[in-house]
A and B are shown apart, each in its own frame.
Chain A
Amino acid sequence: MPPVVEALDLYRTYRTTTGTFRRRTLEVEAVRGVSFEIGEGELFGLLGPNGAGKTTTIKMLITLLIPTSGSARVLGHDVVEDATWVRERIGYVFGGDRGLYERLSAWDNLRYFAELYGVEPRRQRPRIEELLELVGLTGREKERVEGYSRGMRQRLHIARGLLHDPPVVFLDEPTIGVDPVGARELRATIAGLKDAGKTVLLTTHYMFEADTLCDRIGVVAKGRLVAEGTPRDLKDRVTDGTVVEIEVYGIDGATVEGLRTIPGVTAVAVEDRDQAQVVVVQATSGTEPTQELLARLEGVSVGRVATREPTLEDAYVALVTEG
């Protein structure tokens, strides 16, 4: 069966200018050779930190940006040559509280986009009612959007993206900034899309979200796809190893670099937790780096030390820091 979404060696460079009198042109390579495929009915996650190139990739796939080089196809049609054909068959939802007519009601917003997506006039009212029910906004549809909470706006975005019942849905960080309860409801809605047979591309930087929802994950770092596979595949990359977490106070960059040179250590990351920092060290299986780590941390105030099994988040951190 041919893939529903194909990205083939996509590159995207932005040109920006700086300076007032002496103008200089700078080139920023946001996406550098990204390729992947998504099968029918699959929920594929693009996971990566801010600025990794996730949104740029998705904007090329939904026809908003023309790739600098490479190509992309949706349902077998080129996103540049057949842009209108592709637009009729995809839904696009982005995160945050932008993208809505603030002084209009949810109903008016949906009514307009139903028109723009060619929903038959006699089908518009029942379809809007159905989607308001789906996203839990029934009863609030006549209120102006400017009075909506972030979670309500996000749910309205999802309803807007599904108006024309597209077979392919692109979700760009749909749960960003939404409170935990609202985010859980949104994830349930996203899972429902997959159950309804839709092909979904989800970008997120929440590991547990990707782990819970996605059939396969592509990890993007610095514009490149650094890993691809099922959540299990990614976890397996580090399940052989071990993770040591050391609570420290005031560690410097040189010391962190020193930790990376210890034999068997594959990744080192420093996380801020409350008042302290936690050094998270990943090591290959069969090594026991704790003693060596503590020796290298001489002179640094050290708190709790713990050893645990690796998680998907560890796999992600390792991939992103290596990438």
Chain B
Amino acid sequence: MRMLRTIAVGWALHMKQESRNPFFLWVVICTPLIYATMAYFLFARGTDDATLVTAAVGSALMGIWSLTTTAGAASLGQQRRLGILELLVAAPTPFWMTIVPITIAISAIGTYSLVTGLIYVRLLFGVPVEVHDWLGFLAAVPPTIVSMGMFGFLFCAAFVRFRAAWAVGNLFEFPVWTITGLLIPVVLLPAWVEPLSWLAAPTWGMRALRAAALGGSSPWDDIAMCVVLSVVYAAIGMVLLRVFLRSARARGSLALS
């Protein structure tokens, strides 16, 4: 119970902290529009409305993932510079419980991408956005957000240990877009990519949202996969974080000074 409350309080606090950052908000507003425009022009010719909706959902998830990697790394870097990272480590609460709320909060702010991405393609390009299964669609959003936040949590373990790891966060932005089928359907990629895509949460979030929006298949199995992957990421992330945190304490790399 205490664990859930601590994560919830941390999540609410970081939502507030990040949503008051004007530069961050500017990025949140601009990126989904740019990605939705790219996706529209990539798929606009010779395809049906279903493909365009898929592209719109994909571009929205691209925005969420971009925020999770780049803003997550930036947020941790900022907390290191401000000396907050040391205070979080010095607190008796397990360290992962202070990091998870950061990545989930940033992914949650990315929900904006989902809403604006769909509205944007509807208003500007006239793509009909009709959701076949509203319940499934709304039920898919939180697990998708949380699983992407937990995927980002895996990377954050490295950000804690290595001061320059924020640059690696940016490096993982495009490969994850590609292998999870957010921009290009995975079936168009080499066969060996598909098993990799199964390991990444955005793949299942994308499938759940697409299934709920277009119908034809149930989103619930994909939602379940998002939940399972969140748990797996949490377990791996906690182990990595423990190892990296001890290493950071041994090397003295928690602070910048």
Q: Which 5 A-B pairs have the closest CB atoms?
A: A98-B83, A116-B91, A87-B92, A99-B83, A103-B20
B217 interface residue, CB < 8 Å from A? no
Q: How far is the CA of A31 from the CA of B20 in the complex (A)?
A: 41
Q: How far is the CA of A92 from the CA of B13 in the complex (A)?
A: 21
Q: In A1-55, which residues have CB < 8 Å from any B CB?
A: 12, 14-15
Most buried by B among A65, A99, A116, A160: A116
Contact B10 A115 (CB under 8 A): yes
Known: A98-B83, A104-B17, A111-B9. A116 touches B93 (CB 8 A): yes
Contact A115 B6 (CB under 8 A): yes
Q: Which residues of A contact B (CB under 8 A)?
A: 12, 14-15, 59, 62-66, 84, 87-88, 92, 94, 96, 98-104, 108, 111-113, 115-118, 121, 160
CB distance from A26 to the nearest CB of B (A): 14
Contact mask for chain B residues 227-257; partner A; CB cutoff 8 A; 1 contact, 0 none = 0000000000000000000100111101000
Complex interface: chain A residues within 8 A of B84 (CB) = 98-101
Q: How far is the CA of A88 from the CA of B252 in the complex (A)?
A: 22
Q: How far is the CA of A150 from the CA of B136 in the complex (A)?
A: 51
Q: How far is the CA of A96 from the CA of B98 in the complex (A)?
A: 23
Chain B residue, CB-CB nearest to A113: B91
Contact B92 A117 (CB under 8 A): yes
Contact mask for chain B residues 26-39; partner A; CB cutoff 8 A; 1 contact, 0 none = 00000000000000
B21 interface residue, CB < 8 Å from A? yes
Known: A64-B249, A65-B252. A99 touches B6 (CB 8 A): no
B188 interface residue, CB < 8 Å from A? no
Chain A residue, CB-CB nearest to B8: A115
Contact A104 B251 (CB under 8 A): no
Chain B residue, CB-CB nearest to A85: B92
Q: How far is the CA of A15 from the CA of B249 in the complex (A)?
A: 13
Contact A99 B82 (CB under 8 A): yes
A-B pairs with beta carbons under 8 Å apart, 26 shown: A12-B252, A14-B252, A15-B251, A63-B89, A63-B249, A64-B86, A64-B249, A64-B254, A66-B249, A66-B250, A84-B92, A87-B92, A96-B83, A98-B83, A100-B84, A101-B84, A103-B16, A103-B20, A108-B16, A112-B9, A112-B13, A113-B91, A115-B6, A116-B91, A116-B98, A117-B91
Contact B21 A116 (CB under 8 A): no
Known: A101-B17, A112-B10, A115-B6. A92 touches B252 (CB 8 A): no
Contact A87 B82 (CB under 8 A): no
Complex interface: chain A residues within 8 A of B251 (CB) = 15
B187 interface residue, CB < 8 Å from A? no
Q: How far is the CA of A96 from the CA of B81 in the complex (A)?
A: 13
B135 interface residue, CB < 8 Å from A? no
CB distance from A108 to the nearest CB of B (A): 6
Contact B92 A116 (CB under 8 A): yes
CB distance from A254 to the nearest CB of B (A): 35
Contact B87 A99 (CB under 8 A): yes
Chain A residue, CB-CB nearest to B91: A116
Contact B83 A87 (CB under 8 A): no
CB distance from A278 to the nearest CB of B (A): 32
Contact A100 B10 (CB under 8 A): no
Q: How far is the CA of A87 from the CA of B87 in the complex (A)?
A: 11
Complex interface: chain A residues within 8 A of B98 (CB) = 116
Q: How far is the CA of A30 from the CA of B151 in the complex (A)?
A: 38
CB distance from B190 to the nearest CB of A (A): 37
Complex interface: chain B residues within 8 A of A112 (CB) = 9-10, 13
